[in-house]
Amino acid sequence: MIPVSDEPLLRAEKLTMRFGGLVALDALDIEVRPREILGLLGPNGSGKTTFFNVVTGLYAASSGTITFEGRNISGLSPQAVYQAGITRTFQRSRLSLSLSVFDNVAVGNSRMLDHGIIHNLFCRKALLAEYERTVEQVRTLLATFNAALAGKLFHSAAGLSMIDRRRVEICRALISEPRLLLLDEPSAGMTHDETAELMDDIMHVREKLAPFSVVIIEHEMNVIQRTTERCVVLNYGKKIAEGSYAEITVNADVRAAYLGQE
Amino acid sequence: MSLDIFSQYLINCLMLGMIYAMVAVGFTLFFGVLDVIQFAHGDVLMAGGFGALVAYAATQAVGIANSWVQLLLMVVSTTVMTAALGALVARFLVLPLRNAPPLNTLLITLMMGMVLREAVRLVYPNGSNPQPFPSLLPHDAWRVGGLDLRVDSLILLVVGLLLIAGLHLLITRSKLGLAIRAVAQDGETARVMGINFNRIVLLTFGLGSAMGALGGVMRGLYYTEITFDVGLLLGVIGFAAAILGGLGNLYGAILGGFLFAVLQAIGAVALPVLLPDFPSAYKDVFAFTVVIVLIGWKPTGLIAEKTSERV
Amino acid sequence: MPLGVAMLVLLALSWALLGAETQTEVFGLFGVTAVIAVIASRLKFTESLGRVAVEHERAVSIACVVGILILMALFHEDHFPLLLLGSVLLYATACLGLNIQFGYVGIVNFAGASFFGIGAYTTAVLASHTAMPHLLILAAGGVMAALVGCVLLLPVLRTRGHYGALVTIAFATLFRSFLEVNDTLGGPQGLKIPSLQFFGWDLGEGLIFGGVEFSFYANYVFFALLLCMAAYVCVRRVERSWLGVAMDMVRTDEIAASVFGISIARQKIIAFVLGNLLVGIAGAAYGMMTNYIAPNNFTFADSLILVSMLLLGGIGNPLGVFPAAALILILPEKLQFIQEYRFLLYGTVIIFILLFRAQGLLPRGIRRFFPCAENDPRQ
């Protein structure tokens, strides 16, 4: 075991998730440390996305606890988890295609925006100021990823290419300056080069902001190798290995789990 | 309340429950194969009833006097007609909108229902007024233990139960039923397995519509009257029953149908007895209120539909 | 410039349509409209018009209001065209309310006519039995509709899709049935409503203004116009705010919305209550304008007509409800032979719209928060 340097940012203890007879997460213990990038690996159906869904409050865990910054967040609603500072992307793109790029990204910042009825309907001056601030913020963030994308701020998301949609989704997750970002297979549906570019951009943004922790689910091993400091490997909802990329690739259990898979 | 009146209410309630169940079964079949609500169903059924009237007039015109033969001809023609109508609705309104939002399908079929309703009202002679439906079943009554049991009601009840049981057998035992269930389970996979998807969808819509139409004819025979707007209320009730039971579930639809009839009976008979200020005319208000409460309590129906949303 | 021309043409056409008395005239008008439309699209006029209209939104709005005032002046003493104009405005107001529900947050309300009816019946009861000021009664009509809507909130929030449709469909059926059998509310015969009065001004009396005599319906058109403008501004502001973004997110993807902190229930509650409030107020004003209401005005079929207007106009675009309401309400009145066939016609038209132009007459565009702001940061 690597010695724990300081208090973990997120800690899942004995996390179990059952769907009827199926055990998707089986007494899982996972720690995410401050400022680290953690790779979450495992064959299909090993419970990686379920872990994200439980952390973000979409599923209520059958048992176990999740602590974030020392606070118990198990059982909180997705809204409350977001307020606590955790955001995510989805494996399949979940942009609202009929809305503009700006709308899609701005919604990620709803923690900072005033949703009060009076404010929105009657204080248009204050809203205008808030709006202009947000436009600048969204534009700057998009420009970090791709200058051309910033020019499409008020185009509908339906007209974007696959990689631009992914970028917009990541900007939506980043704009609220989360303390933990959960990336669910950012490479899905993209080429090697596109994925590499995307990851570089995320790292770039991360350096500019207060460096946040990232958990990344990924099948592309070179992405994991390049970006992560530590990996956790799941199989059948259990943790079967933990360590640096070099360590887990030589782990016998991991090889057994992937045998026949790749 | 005397036993006699009670038994009348009971038979009436059973009768209505069965008709509702037969309509609801259609909704649930359609939902099963395509995940859509075909809201013209009630009006397809009404059109079937009027088709039966036309068939009756035709038999009279050619001089067939035997009421059983007349009835048979009516049933056959209305079954064929509504099955065709149901399949046409599926082919030209429902299937083209498969990739549109589900509410578009709901709306387009609601509108189709309105078109059918208005067409019958305007085209059928004197269509705005109730039309007498021939009572072709024997009127004798059997006296059983102090109760008068009308033969026609009994025949209708038995036939209705046989039809529902027959449909159940068809779905669970026959090859066609297997194909329908395969499509309901997963349309894509069924297609890959060599099932002709469109054909099964059209057949299912035909089957469900014919089933509803038989319910409509039974209603006509029972009340000896039919109106152009009977489909609207029957459609709403059938839809409510199917949803209450849990969409896509045959037993749910049957349960929902009988449940609605029981609610109406409670509203019409039991509540006015218990609460003197409660007029029996509020039976529909009562029944629909309970429906709203129930759906608020069990938002995916009493026999819940299996759903899983992938994230 | 193209905007001015288009507005004048539109004004002339609506004047001709409202004033047309024979079917030949109406058909002639169709012909003229078709010719104008073909020429306009040949000259690429429609395209540039669309662009200009989006850019000069305020000018378009002002032109519309002025246009309606001009129509009102032109028909100053003809009861019927004015009544139609008032109905169009009030139905459009109701559709604006439904637009918040259907267009933004995604709740399809199949009981629109019922909430319209609640507003009208509340007005009828309060105006005949109490001495409440009429402006308050109007508000009470809206509040009553919103309150009754609140009873439905729990099932509406818990259900989705088809299960949700059942709630409002059941309510629409229930409401109609309730009105028919309730004797205190007049049963099938309905109720009479006294005409609207504010501060001594009786809207039910014709008035003389600058030496010209105006029908009393002109009062109502004017009043309906004010209501409609208020509703339009309200709906636009909902759309062009964080609330609008949140509602759109709820409609398009509830899971993504909740992961980004948006409360699904809160958005749905705001939309449903606010929508019903607007529908109820419109219904209350409609009741006062027509002086008489009966259960037959508030059936499930009428609710479907409201939804059809929304669909025809283009879901989510508040501007679309105006041409849609005008077409759906005025045409059957003008084509007498269609009267009998009007539901048939509505049904067929909507079926064709859904099959071939599901986005409606004026499809919704990309949200612009502050279209008139000097420093619109879009360029």
- Pick among B307, B309, B310, B311 to test the A interface (most A CBs inside 10 A): B311
pLDDT, tens digit, 9 for 90 and up, residues A68-87: 998 999 889 999 999 999 99
pLDDT, tens digit, 9 for 90 and up, residues B134-153: 888 877 777 776 677 788 88
Contacts 24+ apart (CB under 8 A), A227-230: A227/A37, A227/A39, A227/A199, A227/A203, A228/A37, A228/A38, A228/A39, A229/A36, A229/A37, A229/A38, A230/A2, A230/A33, A230/A36, A230/A37, A230/A38, A230/A39
| Confidence check on the interface: ipTM exceeds 0.95, yes or no | no
Q: Which two tokens stand for residue B307?
A: 């759903």
- The residue with greater pLDDT, B185 or C168, is C168
Is the per-residue pLDDT at C195 higher than 90? no
Contact flag A82-C259 (C-beta cutoff 8 Å): yes
Residue A80 counted as domain residue: no
- Taking a C-beta distance cutoff of 8 angstroms, is the pair C272, C102 a contact? no
Residue A200, min C-alpha distance to chain B (Å): 26
User: How many Cα atoms are found within 13 Å in the side-chain-facing hemisphere of C248?
Assistant: 26
Is the per-residue pLDDT at C74 higher than 90? no
Of C245, C263, C375, the CB nearest to A79: C263
Residue B141 counted as domain residue: yes
Of A88, A121, A156, the CB nearest to C238: A121
Is the per-residue pLDDT at B204 higher than 60? yes
- Taking a C-beta distance cutoff of 8 angstroms, is the pair B52, B203 a contact? no
Range of the domain at A109: 96-170
Residue A118 counted as domain residue: yes
Comparing A176-190, A195-209, C255-269, which segment has the lowest mean pLDDT?
A195-209
**Count of domains observed in chain A:** 1
CB < 8 Å to A49, chain B: 311
Closest-CA residue of B relative to A50 is B311
Contact flag B108-C354 (C-beta cutoff 8 Å): yes
Is the domain spanning C77-356 CATH 1.10.3470? The answer is yes
- For CA atoms B235, B237, B240, B243, the dihedral sign is negative
Task: Give chain C's contact residues with A (Cβ, < 8 Å).
Answer: 234, 237-238, 241-243, 245-246, 248-249, 252-253, 255-263, 266, 270, 366-370, 373, 375, 377-378
**Could you tell me the pLDDT band of residue A1, with boundaries at 50, 70 and 90?**
very low
Comparing A12-26, A149-163, C298-312, C349-363, which segment has the lowest mean pLDDT?
C349-363
Measured from the Cβ of residue B306, the count of other Cβ atoms closer than 10 Å reads 8
pLDDT, tens digit, 9 for 90 and up, residues B26-69: 998 888 888 888 889 999 989 988 999 999 999 888 888 888 88
Residue A94, min C-alpha distance to chain C (Å): 7
Contact flag C347-B114 (C-beta cutoff 8 Å): yes
Looking at chain B from residue 67 to 96, which residues have their Cβ under 8 Å from any Cβ of chain C?
93, 96
Residue B25 counted as domain residue: yes
Predicted pLDDT at C189: 86
Closest-CA residue of A relative to B311 is A90
- The residue with greater pLDDT, A87 or B197, is A87
- Taking a C-beta distance cutoff of 8 angstroms, is the pair A165, A199 a contact? no
| Stretch B71-85: mean pLDDT | 91
Strands A10-19 and A22-32, bridge-based pairing: antiparallel
Predicted pLDDT at B66: 84
Predicted pLDDT at C363: 85
Looking at chain A from residue 41 to 80, which residues have their Cβ under 8 Å from any Cβ of chain B?
49, 53, 58
Helix (H) or strand (E) holding A217: strand A213-217
Hey, where are the domains in chain C? 1-55, 77-356
Predicted pLDDT at A262: 46
Range of the domain at B45: 3-297
Contact flag C354-B118 (C-beta cutoff 8 Å): no
Neighbours of chain B (3+ CB pairs under 8 A): A, C
**Could you tell me the pLDDT band of residue A2, with boundaries at 50, 70 and 90?**
very low
| Stretch A47-75: mean pLDDT | 92
| Stretch A185-198: mean pLDDT | 85
C-alpha radius of gyration, chain C, whole number? 21
Provide the 8-state DSSP code for A24.
Answer: E
User: How many Cα atoms are found within 13 Å in the side-chain-facing hemisphere of B175?
Assistant: 1
Residue A222 counted as domain residue: no
pLDDT, tens digit, 9 for 90 and up, residues A159-176: 998 889 999 999 999 999
- The pTM assigned to this predicted structure is 0.89
Contact flag B114-C162 (C-beta cutoff 8 Å): no
Predicted pLDDT at B128: 85
- The residue with greater pLDDT, C257 or B157, is C257
Contacts of B294 (CB under 8 A, 6+ apart): B244, B302
Contact flag A90-C245 (C-beta cutoff 8 Å): no
Residue C15, min C-alpha distance to chain B (Å): 30
- Residue B203: which CATH number? 1.10.3470
Of A107, A120, A124, the CB nearest to C260: A107
**Count of domains observed in chain B:** 1
Any bridge partners for residue A30, and if so which? A12
Interatomic CA distance for residues C259 and A17, integer angstroms = 19
Closest-CA residue of B relative to A19 is B308
| Stretch C187-194: mean pLDDT | 86
Interatomic CA distance for residues C225 and B56, integer angstroms = 55
CB < 8 Å to A53, chain B: 311
Interatomic CA distance for residues B196 and A168, integer angstroms = 41
Comparing A61-65, B99-103, B161-165, B197-201, which segment has the lowest mean pLDDT?
B99-103
| Stretch C288-308: mean pLDDT | 89
| Single-letter amino acid code for the residue at C50 | G
Q: What does the mean pLDDT of chain B come to?
A: 86
**Could you tell me the pLDDT band of residue C336, with boundaries at 50, 70 and 90?**
low
| Stretch B109-126: mean pLDDT | 89
Predicted pLDDT at C376: 53
- Taking a C-beta distance cutoff of 8 angstroms, is the pair A183, A39 a contact? no
Closest-CA residue of B relative to C106 is B103
